[in-house]
């Protein structure tokens, strides 16, 4: 679940708006904690919902960071 954030580190090096995607970790960390301490199916379903929202927010956030960086002409940071 944290692998995409490792990939995000690579994008942060080249796109100035990419670091804002790290705010998605606010939904990721509770999902991980819920899975580690879950005892009932309802808790796993809650973690699955948080995972779904995390994946959606990560994808939309990174896509927007890339699109807006290219659209407004922010040069890649080298």
* Residue ranges covered by each domain of the chain: 3-71
To the question of pTM greater than 0.85 for the whole model, the response is no
| pLDDT in the model for residue 23 | 95
Give the chain's residues under pLDDT 50.
none
The sign of the dihedral angle between the CA atoms of 47, 52, 57, 59 is: positive
What local confidence, expressed as pLDDT, does residue 72 receive?
63
pLDDT of residue 70: 74
The pLDDT value recorded for residue 69 is 81
pLDDT of residue 36: 96
Q: Is 30 exposed, middle or buried (0-12, 13-18, 19+ CB in 10 A)?
A: middle
């Amino acid at each position: 679940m944290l692998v995409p954030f490792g990939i995000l580190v690579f994008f942060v090096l080249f796109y100035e708006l990419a670091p804002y995607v790290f705010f998605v970790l606010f939904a990721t960390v509770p999902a991980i904690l819920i899975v580690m301490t879950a005892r009932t199916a309802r808790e796993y379903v809650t973690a699955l919902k948080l995972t779904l929202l995390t994946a959606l927010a990560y994808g939309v956030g990174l896509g927007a960071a890339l699109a807006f960086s290219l659209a407004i002409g922010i040069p890649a940071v080298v």
